Amino acid sequence: MGGLEWLGGGITSVPGILASGIHCGIKSSGKKDLALIYSSTPARAAAVFTSNQVKGAPVQVSMEHIKEGTIQAIVASSGCSNVCTGERGLSDAREMTTIVGELLHVPARHVLVASTGVIGRPLPMDKIRAGLPKLVKSLSPQGGRNAAEGILTTDRGPKEAALRLEVAGRPVTIGGIAKGVGMIEPHLATMFCFLTTDAAVSREALDWALHRSVERSFNRITVDGDQSTSDTVAILANGLAENQVLEKGSRSLRQFTQGLEAIAERLAKLLVKDGEGATKLVTIHVKGAKNHREARHAARSVATSLLVKTAINGQDPNWGRIMMALGKSPAVVQAGRVAIWFDDEPVVAGGQQAPGARLDRVREIMGRPEFTLSIDLGLGTGQAEVWTCDLSEEYVRINATYTT
Amino acid sequence: MGGLEWLGGGITSVPGILASGIHCGIKSSGKKDLALIYSSTPARAAAVFTSNQVKGAPVQVSMEHIKEGTIQAIVASSGCSNVCTGERGLSDAREMTTIVGELLHVPARHVLVASTGVIGRPLPMDKIRAGLPKLVKSLSPQGGRNAAEGILTTDRGPKEAALRLEVAGRPVTIGGIAKGVGMIEPHLATMFCFLTTDAAVSREALDWALHRSVERSFNRITVDGDQSTSDTVAILANGLAENQVLEKGSRSLRQFTQGLEAIAERLAKLLVKDGEGATKLVTIHVKGAKNHREARHAARSVATSLLVKTAINGQDPNWGRIMMALGKSPAVVQAGRVAIWFDDEPVVAGGQQAPGARLDRVREIMGRPEFTLSIDLGLGTGQAEVWTCDLSEEYVRINATYTT
């Protein structure tokens, strides 16, 4: 990816994209709780939603609106997820798209809506109705950071990324913002990621590129194994780069998708680093599995084990818990063939502690903010990578008291 | 079960059963770390072991020894699990059965062996060799409690139960001891349970009774979703009650099995109550699922969700997390049909907060040391029950520093 250049900023680094974020009163803390992303021209859009069977009202409304493939605005709120709120929830979510549509002079069906926060409470619509005109007035080509702040819940801070790359000889920009940070698990758990680009992309191609990028980024992360009812990843492509429209199967689309994957991977890792109570980003790399699917099962079993995650938190080179997590996974594992490294330090060989294993050095590696746990199952050629974080007392503290 | 009478004590409440527990030096704390159970006559035996693919050396040896169906002694150690220790581990485990066999004048193959504790370290065999004669000398008909103490790791205290019941007109005694308490998850995670009875039971019948009891007790509990490499549940039936031998399919065997289930359920619940850092025992009862299997999936998804478990810890009536956990389970769930109660207090009806739900009262119920979370999926007649505990900061504290 020679032509890939990281930029400052996020969604509004993309030409033709305006954004805003304000406090309207959903959060009692006074922090921003409404966000808006607006494309000055109707954009080609694609989206991926939570696979949880209990879907929030905004997810249901956005699933209807995305069908046509054209979206011009995304309105998001934080502090209340509008999930398990019945007919009223659906009508509230619809009303948000209607109000924003009227204010922006676009059809309501060209507006996506997303809400994150506590489940089971109705949105304070009076506050939102009063806030939306202010939100629209605040739209600005420098508003990306405000929007990034407007979607946060227990996140420690906003998450943005932007880059420029050449696609078929023309510069194209891609930007994104994301939020985590509990209920994080592959297959889209409480997280939003909103992406923008000025590339011209066909509908089918945009869908393909988004799914592929999500598969290689957000579907590789896990914080707590829970899966939210509100997850939404959406991309708006407004075509202002005036490149030849990217079509499925083309070399140019693959170039564009490399950039999209890079943005999604960066944002996904930011989510894990900011996992509730997390202090470390750990890459679990499994190779030597019978196939890719089994490698993924094994990596996920290690990445989600509470005993592995607490050992990482305590910088405890307790490799036996990794063996335990491998053994309980649905992947075929033969203990005597397993080898494990922490970064470049061998710890396990042939299913036992490696001769001369330097546990003090492993402890030192585990103290790093980022490290890789490499596992060779010694059975085949399947590989997979999952990104996880440690489990700290802070996670429990945050989640034992979230609604109160 | 009119004829069921709870007794004090545990395994040695059963005639013909002796036991002992001593400190030999595996644990640096000075606490007991060796336990022995001995039947004065060769006993019919059955056992269930971990389904983790990474099995400890003692599990592998015991799996060989149980094949014949006759066992006269069980030797167990705590503090070091002898897992992932290769050929040396197997030979150490075998040696323990040989030494105990010689001291007790029984064939080594009639001795089961079990070890629990840290994975990946060799047993300190010099200490064990020196300790075993002392362990055998300490055998006593009052030694049940010592044995119960000798198998503990991070448990807060010993777990024992014993009862007497009539089987085909004759009094029969059943006793048991168990230990937890991390890596606890249905399908046998770090736990031992050793059961004894003076009933005369055929081999096939004993196997059936044990599997059924484990299925309805230990396979219903979860502490942290992890699954140990050492789990062992074994029963010795020495026949001293001189009842007519219980055969599979008989009414008498069903009577006996009711007693065995009662003991196993009591010990399983003691394990959950003593889950690492746990402060509450919560029964998750799901009904209205499409079938039993789906009910179990749904109950387990709720019982293992970190967000549900932290909410229970914080006495936070955050029912949305229960909806989330139901929605992500493999069971079919229609949000609009779900109803939820905390004990007798309705909280969710039709997938939304029940009209007039008294969250203050729910908070009060969640403060109890035991309560039931009832969930009706409204789809069918499938039911299942799982016992879980809360997740506290203490759990993380314990597990972040276990080997160090």
- Determine, for residues A327 and B229 on separate chains, whether the beta-carbon distance falls below 8 Å: yes
**Pick the residue with more confidence: B28 or A91?**
A91
User: Which is the catalytic residue, given A153, A190, A257, A283?
Assistant: A190
- Determine, for residues B396 and A310 on separate chains, whether the beta-carbon distance falls below 8 Å: yes
- Determine, for residues A225 and B306 on separate chains, whether the beta-carbon distance falls below 8 Å: yes
Using alpha carbons only, give the angle B91, B92, B95 rounded to the nearest 5 degrees.
Answer: 85
pLDDT for the residue A182: 56
CB of B377 less than 8 A from some CB of A: no
Distance CA A41, CA A106 (A): 10
List, for residues B297-327, the tens digit of each pLDDT value: 999 999 988 888 888 988 988 898 899 889 8
What DSSP line would sit under A185-218, residue for residue? -SS--S-EEEEEE---B-HHHHHHHHHHHHHTTG
pLDDT for the residue B289: 97
- Determine, for residues B320 and A395 on separate chains, whether the beta-carbon distance falls below 8 Å: no
CB of B91 less than 8 A from some CB of A: no
Q: Which residues of B touch A84 (CB under 8 A)?
A: 320, 323, 335, 348, 351-353
pLDDT for the residue B220: 81
- Determine, for residues B305 and A397 on separate chains, whether the beta-carbon distance falls below 8 Å: no
pLDDT for the residue A191: 80
Q: Which residues of B touch A182 (CB under 8 A)?
A: 307
Q: Which residue from A192, A101, A112 is spatially nearest to A149, judged by alpha carbons?
A: A192
Percentage with pLDDT > 70 across chain B: 93
pLDDT for the residue B401: 64
CB of A402 less than 8 A from some CB of B: yes
CB of A311 less than 8 A from some CB of B: yes
CB of B236 less than 8 A from some CB of A: no
Domains of chain A: 5-270 (3.60.70.12), 281-400 (3.10.20.340)
Q: Which helix (H) or strand (E) holds B42?
A: strand B34-49
Q: Which of residues 159-218 of B touch A (CB under 8 A)?
A: 182-183, 185
Q: Which residues of B touch A317 (CB under 8 A)?
A: 403
Distance CA A116, CA A156 (A): 15
From residue B375, alpha-carbon distances to B298, B322, B383 in Å are 9, 9, 10
pLDDT for the residue A391: 82
- φ/ψ of B65, rounded to 5, equals -70, -25
Q: Which residue from A18, A266, A46, A240 is spatially nearest to A147, judged by alpha carbons?
A: A18
Q: How many CB pairs under 8 A join A and B?
A: 216
Q: Which residues of A touch B320 (CB under 8 A)?
A: 81, 83-84, 118-120, 229
pLDDT surpasses 50 at B1: no
CB of B397 less than 8 A from some CB of A: yes
pLDDT for the residue A401: 64
**Pick the residue with more confidence: B215 or B373?**
B373
CB of A55 less than 8 A from some CB of B: yes
Compute and round to an integer the Cα radius of gyration of chain A.
22
Q: Which of residues 11-30 of B touch A (CB under 8 A)?
A: none
pLDDT for the residue B225: 53
Distance CA A150, CA A107 (A): 23
Distance CA B255, CA B168 (A): 8
Using alpha carbons only, give the angle B343, B345, B351 rounded to the nearest 5 degrees.
Answer: 105
pLDDT for the residue A1: 45
Each of the 404 residues of chain A gets a pLDDT tens digit; together they read: 457 999 999 999 999 999 999 999 999 999 999 999 999 999 999 998 887 888 889 999 999 999 999 999 999 999 998 988 999 999 999 999 999 999 999 999 999 999 998 888 899 999 999 999 999 999 999 999 999 999 998 788 899 999 999 998 899 999 999 997 654 443 333 688 999 999 999 999 999 999 999 888 888 876 555 556 678 889 999 999 999 999 999 999 999 999 999 999 999 888 888 777 788 899 999 999 999 999 999 999 999 888 888 889 889 888 988 998 898 888 999 999 999 999 999 999 999 999 999 999 999 999 999 999 999 999 999 999 999 888 887 777 776 765 54
CB of B395 less than 8 A from some CB of A: yes
Tokens matching residue A225:
């194994």
Distance CA B189, CA B271 (A): 11
- The neighbouring-strand residues paired with B76 are B35, B114
- The neighbouring-strand residues paired with A70 are A44
CB of B336 less than 8 A from some CB of A: yes
- Determine, for residues B84 and A348 on separate chains, whether the beta-carbon distance falls below 8 Å: yes
User: Residue A181 in 3-state DSSP?
Assistant: coil
Choose the mutation target among A87, A301, A321, A322 for the interface with B, i.e. most B CBs under 10 Å. A321
Q: Which residue has the tokens 């905004």?
A: A58
All residues at 6 or more sequence positions from B91 whose CB lies less than 8 Å from its CB, including other chains: none
List, for residues B360-377, the tens digit of each pLDDT value: 999 999 999 999 999 999
CB of A306 less than 8 A from some CB of B: yes
By CB neighbour count within 10 A (0-12 exposed, 13-18 middle, 19+ buried), where does B41 fall? exposed
List, for residues B131-165, the tens digit of each pLDDT value: 999 999 999 999 999 999 999 987 888 999 999 99
Query: What does chain B come to in residues?
Result: 404
User: Residue A155 in 3-state DSSP?
Assistant: coil
Report whether A111 contacts A102 (CB < 8 A).
no
All residues at 6 or more sequence positions from A338 whose CB lies less than 8 Å from its CB, including other chains: A323, A326, A348, A350, A351, A375, A376, A377, A378
Distance CA B121, CA B126 (A): 14
Tell me which residue in A328, A392, A401 faces B314 most closely, judged by beta carbons.
Answer: A401
Give the closest-approach CA distance of B187 to chain A in angstroms: 10
pLDDT surpasses 90 at B181: no
- Determine, for residues A310 and B350 on separate chains, whether the beta-carbon distance falls below 8 Å: no
Report whether B377 contacts B349 (CB < 8 A).
no
Half-sphere exposure of A40 (CA within 13 A, CB side): 11
Span of A176-190, B51-65, B221-235 with lowest mean pLDDT: A176-190
**Pick the residue with more confidence: B112 or A230?**
B112
Distance CA A21, CA A18 (A): 11
- Determine, for residues B226 and A307 on separate chains, whether the beta-carbon distance falls below 8 Å: yes
Amino acid at A127: K
H helices within B237-354, ranges in order? 251-273, 292-304, 306-313, 320-328
Tell me which residue in A119, A225, A324 faces B119 most closely, judged by beta carbons.
Answer: A324
Q: What is the DSSP letter of B243?
A: P
From residue A149, alpha-carbon distances to A78, A145, B123 in Å are 10, 6, 54
